[in-house]
Each structure stands twice: as C-alpha cells, then as structure tokens.
Structure 1
Amino acid sequence: MTDSEATGYDCLTSRLVPEGELRTFLLDCFEIAEDELFVGHTERIADDLRAYPPDLTFAAFCTYDDQVSGHFAMSVSVGIEGRLAERVGRHEFAERLAASFDAYVLYGDTEPPGLWTVVLPDGSHLRAAMEEDEGTYVLDAATAPVPGLPTLRADEGLWLN
C-alpha cells in the first residue's frame, strides 16, 4: 500500500513529442504496463475513451496539447496514482522529459506565485517568469540563459522571490 496521494504533473515542453514516443517515455518513466496507461490529445479524449470500459481506471492518465505557441510547443498533463509519485517525483519527471527529448521543460511546484522552474536537457534548472495568453506561453525572464532563446532577459533576482 502507498502513503502518497494521487497527483498530477503538468508541464510545457519546447519540442513536439509524437504520441507514440510520449507513450513509450511514460511507460519507461513510471515502469508500468501498457494497460495501465492512457495517452490522448486533449481534443480527442472523449472519443479515445470510448474504446475502454467506463469503469476502467488507469495508473497514469496523460493528455497533451500540441496547439500551444510562444516559447513552447506542447503541454503535457499526467495524472498518476500515489505509487507512481513515489517512484518519480515532479522534478525528476521534468528532468527525464527534458533529457529524453532534448527540450527545455517548464513546470510549477513550490515556486513563489508567478514563477516557474525550467529544466534544461542537461538536467540543470532555473527559475523563470512567464506570460500566458490563450495558449501562447512566452518567457519574460530567467535566472540563466535558455538555449535557443538568446534574447531572453537574465534576472538573477528571480531566485530571491
């Protein structure tokens, strides 16, 4: 029996990840069987779920949206059982996602309001401020340079917030 509660990991990634590759990543990351995982595009969830019994529960339930823009190309949201959260924490999940797809990944956890953590493919992380407007996500500033974003303003003061 697990002591952890079910939770969710929401993030933005700078690279589009094909659904099949995302599925393979999640299976490996959480060490679960194929029948314990659901992966679907946010616009097709209802249609995709018709293929499953209505009372079926998944250990990991992932939705993604490839219609985001700005500094990010895709949003990923994964709801997981507590036992999976014990295996892979939020930060480790972002690190693995960034490394697996050579992308930078933004997520939120315990940062002050309005700030986010960005994990780079090499596993380093920084704090960032971001503007969001109807699916467009643009980083305003970060505590260090982000590869591919040469004009992003560096602001070490974000660590102090």
Structure 2
Amino acid sequence: MAESVGTGYDGLSSRLVPEIELRAFLLDCFGIDEPELFVGHADRTAEDLRNVPPDVVFAAFFTYWQVSGHFAMGFDLGIEGRLVDRVGRREFAERFAIRFDANVLYGDTEPPGLWTVILNDGSRVLAAMDEEDEQYLLYAATAPVPGLPEVRVREDLWQLR
C-alpha cells in the first residue's frame, strides 16, 4: 500500500489551549516521538527554530495563534503522509474537540462559504461564518451550537452540498 502524500490540517478552536497540552495531545494523537514534533506560536516560529539545524524535518509541524469572536485560537498543522494515514482531517478535528472540550471549525469538501464545526461532544454541524481581522463569528448552523444562542439554525445548509 502506498503512503499518502503529506498535507496540512488547519482550523479554529473555541478554546486557547496551552502549548504543553497541545504537545501532549499531538504526540499521543499521531503516535510520534518528541523529536518528530514542532509546536509553537506562529509569531515565535523563527525564534523557536533558531537553534535547530536547517536540515531537520519534523513529521508534524504545528503552529497556533490567538483569534477572537466565537473562536479563541487558529492553528496550522503540517504532517507527513504516514501521519495522514494514521489520523485523517475529520478524525483529527473530532479528537481535538473532545480532548479540549472545544468547538473546532475546519474545512474539507463543503460548498464555498460553509465550514464543518465539530462540537465538544464530537457531533458536527455545517456552519456559515463571517471573518474580519482575525475575528471569526458564526451566523448560521444546521443545528444549535451550545453556548452560542445568537447563531441562527438553518437546516437547509445541508442541501447546499
């Protein structure tokens, strides 16, 4: 069986997760060893890597930053193909949401302008969102989003697929 091509998983989390917790989660989630993982704040990446030899390749490279609105943290995760084979995009978002008791927004094959949000219980909704200057606000979803009563429920979003 051929190994999948490396890729990136990106998304938003309703909880700003401490770096030490992110590191433990990523090591466990992908079953990798500490030297195979980089975790750092996006604004400090160059500084964090200044003493790392330029030929070092990380199997998983995770950066995060603070955002506002209905989400607290954005993230980018670059991973090798062997890790894609272990944990797919949706499964990663589900594990993240459940582990950190957070809502996790990510995109995969939704119609333009729509996103999947994995709720903290592992269930999912399709949602529409406004974004401006790192402020992300959901304005419609296919089911109620716990803690966000202002988000309109529009079951017809599923029909846009």
TM-score, normalised by the number of residues in structure 1: 0.97
Percentage of matched positions with identical amino acids:
68
Give RMSD over aligned pairs: 0.9
CA contact (8 A) 1:132 1:138 kept: yes
Residue 51 of structure 1 and its aligned partner are, at CA, apart by 2.1
The residue number in structure 1 matching 2:49 is: 49
The residue number in structure 2 matching 1:63 is: 63
In 2: Cα distance, 1:16 partner to 1:61 partner: 18
In 2: Cα distance, 1:31 partner to 1:147 partner: 31
Q: Any gaps of 5 or more consecutive residues in structure 2?
A: none
> Match of 2:101, as an amino acid?
D
TM-score, normalised by the number of residues in structure 2: 0.97
CA contact (8 A) 1:2 1:82 kept: no
Alignment of 1:11-160 (within 5 A): 11-66=11-66, 68-160=67-159
CA contact (8 A) 2:12 2:104 kept: yes
CA contact (8 A) 1:36 1:58 kept: yes
Q: Any gaps of 5 or more consecutive residues in structure 1?
A: none
- Which segments of structure 1 move beyond 6 Å, counting only runs of 4 or more? none
Q: Output one character per residue of 1:99-127: Cα deviation in whole Å (capped at 9) or x when no partner.
A: 00000000000000100000011111010
Q: Output one character per residue of 1:17-72: Cα deviation in whole Å (capped at 9) or x when no partner.
A: 00000010000000000000000101000000112111100000000002x00000
